[in-house]
Structure 1
Amino acid sequence: MNKISNPDRKDWLQLLQRPTQTVGDIEATVNDVFDNVRAKGDAAIKKYTQKFDGATLDSLLVTDLEIEEASKKVSPELKQAIALAKGNIETFHAVQKTKKVEVETMPGVQCWQEKRPIQKVGLYIPGGTAPLFSTILMLAVPAKIAGCEEIVLCTPPNKDGEVNPTILYTAQLCGVTQIFKVGGIQAIAGMTFGTESIPKVYKIFGPGNQYVTVAKQLATKHNVAIDMPAGPSELLVVADDTANPAFVASDLLSQAEHGVDSQVILVSTSESLINAVEKEIEEQIKALPRQEIAEKSIANSKLILVENDETAMDLINEYGPEHFIVCVENEDFYIDTIQNAGSVFIGNYTPESAGDYASGTNHTLPTNGYAKQYSGVNLDSFMKSMTFQKISEEGMGQIGNAIELMAEAEGLQAHKNAVTLRLKSLETN
């Protein structure tokens, strides 16, 4: 890891850059796939699935028999673990439900807000070397609680045209309505435009590589919403001498193993802690099955020594981490002053892995600094807020003249007339 001591504030922007390609580097590829899928539908999807995943498919849709067979391959122990996680995720997201908000802004003017589910949602679940069945829990569970009618899932197949059994088992358990063997850009394009097999959805959720991230951003140009521009995973840990160096190192490596373009950062006021963590990383990384991936990610990562907590906090808010672990004596300071983070993990016994899997919070979070303006996925992500109003005769008498004056001042005579006619009718009653 790159070790930096007391960096000058003017250098922070450069120091905190993510190791990602710019949109321009890959946008041409994404546009090409989108154009082909829009024009040729399933045929284009199958062509790209063969090209990128090495799988030749007769049908994109996963059958009930495939789901049934997949369930048999998942161990009872793993099924129990998934059930535990599902229960906690349901508990946390269910309490996010809100009641109708209603107020009479003035006599005779009733206004209220109610929430409605997004009817059709698409979930993208990465496969490959790390089939993220846990992300199904994070997306399908709140979608069901919200009341979404159609929950479409796309995930890449292996070279034999098969989907990871645990992905199929979890999707069926969580109420996904259709599962398709489609990954990458072509999956996002399929859910954006709709094909002979894949339904068009109203909003797309889920993480992915940089190509998937750009594809999701492009989808917004075609009347489809997305959860957020979620790209390669990242983690920032702030720690002092009260932290366990082995724990800190394990947390940094847990994110580093996601992918070669992941980034992890340790910020500390203690040089001895930084040195201890560095040694732990060197030892722990040797035992990882994904050592090669983690090593490339670690090469993009940083150990940053700062003078005090205030400087550390300023730097952390400037970075806006997806995951933020706080392992310091003065944890309240960081909890109270953090402004930009996707999800916060507090104390030596709160690993980021807990949020990834089973504590109950959602692990679909803003990356690449988007924590400055985006929330992580939550129940409201699957709903829309709709406002209602009802004005009585008394209410129209109360606000009518104000509306007339404002409409006239803006030069919108028809707006004014819509009120004037009603006020005149009240005069004759």
Structure 2
Amino acid sequence: MNITIVGTGYVGLVSGTCLADLGHTVHCVDVNEEKVEMMKKGRVPIYEPQLEEVFLRNIRGERLFFTTNLSEAIKVSNVIFLALPTPPGEDGSADLSYVLDVAGQIGELITEYTIVVNKSTVPVGTSEKVKSIMKSKTSIPFDVVSNPEFLREGYAVEDFMNPERVIVGSSSQRAFEVMDRIYLPLTNIGVTLIQMDEKSSELTKYASNSFLATKITFMNEIANYCEKVGADVDKVRMGMGSDERIGNRFLFPGIGYGGSCFPKDVKALIKSGKEVGYNFKILESVEEINIKQKTILVPEIEKYLGNLNGAKIAIWGLAFKENTDDIREASSLEIIEKLLSKGANVIAYDSIAMENVKKVLGNKISYAKNMYECVEDAEALVVVTEWGEFKNPHFDILTKKMKNKAIFDGRNLYNLEELASHGFYYKSIGRKLIK
């Protein structure tokens, strides 16, 4: 089929590339001319494992194209995916201006039956708003479909090509039949396509992300309680995760969740609830707890050093999670700002996300060439992102380079006994303090 993707951000580029890999001809549209030219030359503007390989394969196969011209793309497609940003406003509500503006443009441009597919994460009722705007612009028949994405950064290509389910929300049997054709290469290998109404589909995405955010936050609360009573959160986690009703995913405690989805979607669902007179008290608590959890190690560092003024603190990891360069809502930024406010000198290392942090923090902090240069003369090391290279460091090198043998681990990467044998002061989350 011929498909247009409007927006080549994270969701749009991954979705467009993978749809092309399913055999469709895909035209990706973006207003950023420099970015479009970059992609035409075969350069991927984001970091995502496996994406470049699939991207280049489909450009060579002449199934993946890029343009700034929405009109030209619509001429060759009757299925248009919207993968546009829906950033949170000051009150937490999702900003739909990009989605609704493009919907209006599409209404003015279509000349035959068209399906507009919302891939963006949007509040309940957005499909109705898109329909209303398009009806005001055209008498050409069209349908609007909700088809939320469930892509994990760092695993997005795998998630698209091997999803646990595909959600399609519509009130049109004709649209369902077209969406079935689009995803046929996946359903033919056993992927379940679940049909529902638009509102239920829109809410499914928010409900899913908010539940996972709640699960993470609950485990962080348990970890904090473990420290108070002397329990081991790793043992508790294994005991809980072995129950199939609970499962072992998203039970790893740490320094809070970040990224482009969980924080934004929790805020938006809270706001959407208030608009209809419903208070999501659980989610309000989740948001409050997560904010505190992000910097929970800073008082521990201060307690260990006594005074952070002038102290050199090393940071391993800047991305909000491994396998991505995304620093949106990253715990690293919160920790660094807190340390700087107390007079600390911060040096950081991340093999992928460092350039993005430089755009935000500039020369407020120093940047290392590698993980071991980062800890030179450091009075404490803070592990923030669970990159593979940080999971098995040479502790003898750390011993030689660091001023103090002190590690504050926000991701529980290391074995307690091993750190004790090397003589480190080791503070993790929900586990015994090693002195």
Provide TM-score, normalisation by structure 1: 0.22
